[in-house]
Amino acid sequence: MIWRWFTAIIGCYGFAVASAMLTARVLPVSSDMARVEVTGWPMLLSFLVYAMAGLWTLHEIRLGRVSAVIWGSTLVMAGLLWWLGVRA
């Protein structure tokens, strides 16, 4: 039960942050939009992602599946962010 709560709190936070950062990095920046506007929407949606992932983590019966999905996708998104680098 401790690992499930740790995954729900810390793992889902990492999942939400990584998904927001990756979405903000991948979205195109046009000349009319500022970089702040492109970053703002994924950050707002990350609160919803965090809540949904946390509820799913506590609802799913199989702990192995929860851990694999949350921690695995967080690591994949963090790896993609590292590979893409900083937007110039």
Per-residue pLDDT tens digits for 29-86: 776 667 777 788 899 999 999 999 999 999 999 999 999 999 999 999 999 999 988 7
Cα angle 54, 6, 44 (rounded to 5 degrees) comes to: 40
Quote the CA–CA distance of 38 and 12 in Å, as a whole number.
Answer: 22
- In three-state secondary structure terms, 68 is helix
- Phi then psi for 33, rounded to 5 degrees? -100, 140
pTM over 0.75: yes
E strands, the chain, are none
| Residue 68 one-letter amino acid | A
